[in-house]
């Protein structure tokens, strides 16, 4: 799960941008039953949500588009 700006063309159903790419990396890194969230989502989370800090999303390489 990630928070950030994305680009969606008019009449399109596909979003692109770093936020989408990081979300895809988080999804790939998650174990079954685990939810990983990006830095901004972690910062914005509700105080009732608890979790442990895993890694900075800047540690995830954005080498190729994740589609």
| Residue 48 domain flag | yes
| Residue 67 domain flag | no
Query: What is the predicted pLDDT for the residue at 7?
Result: 92
| Residue 49 domain flag | yes
| Residue 64 domain flag | no
| Residue 65 domain flag | no
Q: The domain containing residue 51 runs over which residues?
A: 7-59
Work out how many domains the chain is built from and give that number.
1
* CA separation for the pair 46, 31 (Å, rounded): 23
| Residue 2 domain flag | no
| Residue 13 domain flag | yes
pTM: 0.66
Q: How confident is the model over 4-43, as pLDDT tens digits?
A: 999 998 888 888 988 898 889 889 888 888 888 888 887 8
Q: 56-59 contacts: CB < 8 A, separation 24 or more?
A: 57/2, 57/22, 57/25, 57/26
Tokens of 63: 């080498």
């Amino acid at each position: 799960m990630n928070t950030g700006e994305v680009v969606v063309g008019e009449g399109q159903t596909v979003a692109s941008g770093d936020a989408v790419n990081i979300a895809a990396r988080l999804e790939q890194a998650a174990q079954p039953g685990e939810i990983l969230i990006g830095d901004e989502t972690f910062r914005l989370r509700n105080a009732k949500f608890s979790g442990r800090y895993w890694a900075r999303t800047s540690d995830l390489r954005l080498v190729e588009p994740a589609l």
